[in-house]
């Protein structure tokens, strides 16, 4: 994708894959002006995926976007996207229990909200693990808003490469071989 991002509308509907400088690989979709979907391919909670997470999405200045949300696990996230520079800065604030039991969160969260809420009461919150990192964007796609095919299945090992190679979505940004 070679477009220049200028407005909030340019950003909404965009699908990204990026790798943080600590090696963690994430896939994230600006589904609409208040909703995000994501899938985690590498790092402490690789294998986790989430759809329809409510988020605050704003443009700070032309082509620079801030997104923040709090999750049912108690994890808080703040992301700054600079898509014209293929760059992101993200900070993740993990409760202590996610650091100690990451495997509980490695699932399709939407089907296990009760477990996330029970776990955040049962285990400890503090001290939190704060992970501030820059990331390099390795893929950008214009999926359009409210496209349910973007994040629609669990991550598998070659998925980021399949997406980057153009093997995963058809010309209408629908999942191939569904
Ligand atoms: C915890 C979720 C999360 C999603 C995307 C991202 O870049 C960082 C954290």
Predicted local confidence at residue 57, as pLDDT: 99
Token match 């969260």: residue?
109
CB 173 within 8 A of CB 144: yes
Query: What CATH number has the domain bearing residue 15?
Result: 2.40.128.20
Residue 171 forms part of a structural domain: no
Domain ranges, residue 132: 8-147
Condensed to tens digits (0 to 9), the pLDDT of residues 30-65 reads 999 999 999 999 999 999 999 999 999 999 999 999
Catalytic annotation on 71? yes
**How does residue 122 score in pLDDT terms, banded at 50, 70 and 90?**
very high
Q: Is residue 133 part of a domain?
A: yes
Rounded to an integer, what distance in angstroms lies between the CA atom of residue 170 and that of residue 178?
A: 11
Q: Mean pLDDT, to the nearest integer, of 115-142?
A: 98
15: in domain: yes
**For the chain, how many structural domains are there in total?**
1
Determine the distance separating the centroid of ligand 1 and the alpha carbon of 173, expressed in angstroms.
Answer: 23
**90-102 pLDDT tens trace:** 999 999 999 999 9
Residue nearest atom 2 in ligand 1 by C-alpha distance: 77
The catalytically annotated residue of 18, 27, 38, 71 is 71
Short-list 33, 22, 19, 53, CA closest to 151: 53
DSSP string, 87-126: EEEEEEEE-HHHHH-HHHH-SBGGGGHHHHHHHHHHS---
Distance 87 CA to ligand 1 centre (A): 14
pLDDT of residue 1: 84
Return the number of other C-beta atoms located less than 10 Å from residue 155's C-beta. 18
Element (H, E) at 163: helix 159-164
Tell me if 19 is assigned to some domain.
yes
pLDDT digits (tens, 9 = 90+) for 12-21: 999 999 999 9
Structure confidence at residue 135 as a pLDDT band (50, 70, 90): very high
Q: pTM above 0.80? A: yes
75 within a domain of the structure (yes/no): yes
134 falls within a domain? yes
pLDDT for the residue 2 = 87
Q: Tell me which residues have their CB closer than 6 angstroms to ligand 1.
A: 26, 28, 38, 75, 77, 79, 90, 92
Q: Is residue 47 part of a domain?
A: yes
Residue 112 included in any domain: yes
* Catalytic residue (one of 18, 20, 26, 38): 26
> Structure tokens of 136?
């390099």
**3-state SS assignment for residue 20:** strand
CA of 77 to the centre of ligand 1 (A): 6
């Amino acid at each position: 994708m070679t477009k220049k991002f200028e407005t909030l509308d340019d950003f909404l509907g965009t699908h990204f894959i990026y790798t943080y400088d600590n090696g963690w690989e994430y896939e994230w979709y600006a589904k609409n002006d208040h909703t995000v979907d994501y899938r985690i391919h590498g790092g402490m909670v690789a294998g986790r995926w989430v759809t329809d997470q409510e988020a605050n999405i704003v443009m700070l200045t032309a082509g620079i976007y801030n997104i923040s949300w709090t999750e049912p696990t108690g994890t808080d996230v703040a992301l700054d996207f600079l898509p014209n520079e293929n760059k992101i800065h993200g900070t993740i604030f993990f409760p202590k229990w996610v650091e100690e039991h990451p495997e509980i969160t490695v699932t399709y969260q939407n089907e296990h909200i009760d477990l996330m809420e029970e776990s955040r009461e049962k285990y400890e919150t503090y001290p939190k693990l704060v992970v501030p990192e820059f990331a390099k964007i390795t893929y950008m796609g214009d999926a359009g808003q409210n496209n349910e095919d973007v994040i629609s299945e669990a991550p598998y090992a070659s998925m980021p490469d399949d997406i980057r190679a153009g093997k995963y979505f058809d010309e209408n940004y629908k999942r191939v071989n569904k």
